[in-house]
Structure 1
Amino acid sequence: MSATAQPGDTAAQVLGALPPTAAVWCSGLRKRYRRRTAVDDVSFTVGRGEVVGLLGPNGAGKTTVIKMLLGLVRPDAGEVLLLGRPARDPRSRAKVGYLPELFRYQPWLTAAEVLALHVRLAGVSRPVAEQSECLGLVGLADRADDRVGGFSKGMQQRLGLAVALVARPEFVVLDEPTSALDPLGRADVRDLLLSLRERGVAVLLNSHLIGEVERVCDRVVILDKGRIAAAGTLAELLGQRELRLRLDEVGVDAEALLAGAGKLTRDGDAFTLALDDTADVPDLVAELVGLGVRVHAVEPGRISLEERLLDILRTGHTEEHR
């Protein structure tokens, strides 16, 4: 910083460089707790109308990152802009909805009273009809006047979603939103996330349910040991395709041909071949037949997000993140 620069200049310069569509911008986030580094040099963005998944094993730093984004934990280094304002500015959180992983509501209040309380805490004005509509959105319309103390874990999770959405947020952070929900509840949350995206609301989703992330997220950020191990769109992360074959009478030459085409794994007569391009599959099958191989099945597929995640975490492979 130059001798004439003021403390607010850095934030102003960063703000001026912020892409106009970004709901969240963070750069170089670091956080240590005594001798343990929880987060180390984490940078990413969440665009408006974009659903971004935050993935990683337990202890990877996901919740710490979320708390730094929301101004609940002060980073040791790095900067965060939240809806165009520094995260340390309380005004940056005025249009943010947050569902933490662990939460409790006053058991003596009804669902409607909990929602009304959080509307007051947010400092906004929302008609009672709109609050009731929000409860209906999460499937609690008929339980509005029931006390929270009698709610199941799944119903409390639905109420937490309503609290996160009632202030008409422009950015929503959901930390394990489907952890206590049954399959129907998870489908409801999936539909809700898609509707938020259609309305231009940005969403950061932390979930261990990889299948749900794969269905709704535009991009994924994978954390491991406090650092970004990989990041990108699902197409970028899952670009590699698989070819599953069931073959008989596979000789040495045929197996060498398969191994030369891509990463090969074998389990009896089942062969799995990782390919970057499936355009040459017909020629590959024809060559196998020419070598005397009997081809019983050929099934193209794509590596799942769960498989990709496990591969990244096991190998410690790090990609350039966006």
Structure 2
Amino acid sequence: MTGSLEAAAQLVAELPPAAAVWCSGLRKRYRRQIAVDDVSFSVDRGEVVGLLGPNGAGKTTCIKMLLGLVRPDAGEVLLLGRPATEPAARTRVGYLPELFRYQPWLTAAEVLDLHVKLSGVAVPAGERRETLGLVGLADRADDRVGAFSKGMQQRLGLAVALVARPELVVLDEPTSALDPLGRADVRDLLLALRQRDVAVLLNSHLIGEVERVCDRVVILDRGKVAAAGTLAELLGRTEIRLRLASVPDAAEARMAALGPVTRDGDAFTVDASLEAIPDLVADLVGLGVRVHAVEPGRISLEERLLDILRGDQE
């Protein structure tokens, strides 16, 4: 009997760690409005996943269902390998909601003290101060929150999400009130969390920030998953940008044979692979076109997002 228990323990030890977030078939309806409809995705340990979509796409509702703040009508959620309904699973999750407010009569240090007590995790006072330093509030630890700007309160919210040593951090619009320097600080912080094998689920309308830090992206539209994948998978389409002079109709037809063409003065953008560049340039020169510049590129995440959303609407 003892041997069987030891073998079972060894088998469990050899299993790969469970995903930080796993959800399947999430649905939520508010009266006649379907907010989330059959949403499934996962976030692995040490992975930063961006949640994108227009207003009303169901992103915040989805996050609240993951964290047990809203009860789903259907579907399953696991946090760090445990059902999200278990308090033990949620104690290892840090969360910054989109809308939050702290007691204005408390200092920043007292706000962290309160949330450490609520989490049930023993965090020494020195470590709490270090967390305030991570978000740029080390010199404001003893100042009352009521005197903080909106950006400073958002930094404090990040500290609250990080102070209890979470294995999963869920951030809902964490940089909406921050200036460019603050956004850069958050970006560096997310990269540092990834290096520590902490998983991050990031909901943000700042697509450029998502593109810089996220390993994968889940795009929601009208409550459904419209697309999901790595940035390489989603941004696989390449472009060729050319500055041309003396462009006859035959040259435009040659470019259009590769894919859609857009023109802005003497600048042309062609949807085509990089391998097509040598033959295209040779053909254009043969047609009498003067080629001033050729720049290979890839579509941005914002362009890809708009393509997906417009395609869904059609």
Please say whether Structure 1 and Structure 2 have the same fold, judged by a TM-score greater than 0.5.
Answer: yes
The residue type equivalent to 1:65 in the other structure is C
Tell me what 1:298 maps to: 294
Pick one of 146, 170, 177 that aligns with 1:149.
Answer: 146
The residue type equivalent to 2:136 in the other structure is G
Pairing of 1:92-107 with structure 2 (within 5 A): 92-107=89-104
Deviation at 1:141, TM superposition (A): 0.4
Pick one of 30, 33, 37 that aligns with 1:40.
Answer: 37
- Which digits, 9 at most, give the CA deviation of each residue in 1:192-222, with x for residues without a partner? 0000000000000000000000000000000
Do the aligned residues in 2 keep the contact of 1:229 with 1:317 (CA within 8 Å)?
no
- 3-state DSSP class of the match of 1:41? strand
Residues 122-131 or 248-257, more deviating? 248-257
**1:295 and 1:21 mapped to 2: Cα distance?**
54
Pick one of 274, 279, 282 that aligns with 1:283.
Answer: 279
1:226 lines up with 2:240 in the alignment: no
- 3-state DSSP class of the match of 1:109? coil
Do the aligned residues in 1 keep the contact of 2:22 with 2:78 (CA within 8 Å)?
yes
- 3-state DSSP class of the match of 1:22? coil
Aligned length: 300
Residues 265-274 or 298-307, more deviating? 265-274
Pick one of 140, 158, 162 that aligns with 2:159.
Answer: 162
The residue type equivalent to 1:62 in the other structure is K
1:126 lines up with 2:126 in the alignment: no
1:244 lines up with 2:237 in the alignment: no
What TM-score do you get using the length of structure 1 for normalisation? 0.91
What TM-score do you get using the length of structure 2 for normalisation? 0.93
The residue type equivalent to 2:128 in the other structure is Q
Pick one of 131, 135, 143 that aligns with 2:132.
Answer: 135
Deviation at 1:132, TM superposition (A): 0.3
**1:176 and 1:254 mapped to 2: Cα distance?**
46
Deviation at 1:300, TM superposition (A): 1.1
Unaligned runs of 5+ in 1: 1-17
1:307 lines up with 2:295 in the alignment: no
Residues 105-114 or 82-91, more deviating? 82-91
- With over 3 angstroms needed to count, the CA separation of the structure-2 counterparts of 1:316 and 1:19, relative to structure 1, is farther
**2:245 and 2:181 mapped to 1: Cα distance?**
43
TM-align CA RMSD? 1.3
Tell me what 1:69 maps to: 66
Deviation at 1:90, TM superposition (A): 1.8
The residue type equivalent to 2:120 in the other structure is G
State the 4+ residue runs in structure 1 displaced beyond 2 angstroms: 18-21
Deviation at 1:241, TM superposition (A): 1.0
Do the aligned residues in 2 keep the contact of 1:53 with 1:219 (CA within 8 Å)?
yes
1:256 lines up with 2:244 in the alignment: no
Do the aligned residues in 2 keep the contact of 1:171 with 1:201 (CA within 8 Å)?
yes
**1:99 and 1:160 mapped to 2: Cα distance?**
6
**1:264 and 1:21 mapped to 2: Cα distance?**
46
Do the aligned residues in 2 keep the contact of 1:244 with 1:271 (CA within 8 Å)?
yes
- Which digits, 9 at most, give the CA deviation of each residue in 1:68-91, with x for residues without a partner? 000111111110011111111222
**1:144 and 1:129 mapped to 2: Cα distance?**
12
Tell me what 2:207 maps to: 210
Do the aligned residues in 2 keep the contact of 1:30 with 1:42 (CA within 8 Å)?
yes
Do the aligned residues in 2 keep the contact of 1:107 with 1:147 (CA within 8 Å)?
yes
The residue type equivalent to 2:30 in the other structure is Y
- Which digits, 9 at most, give the CA deviation of each residue in 1:135-185, with x for residues without a partner? 001000000000000000010000000000000000000000000001110
Identity of aligned residues (%): 81
**1:21 and 1:192 mapped to 2: Cα distance?**
24
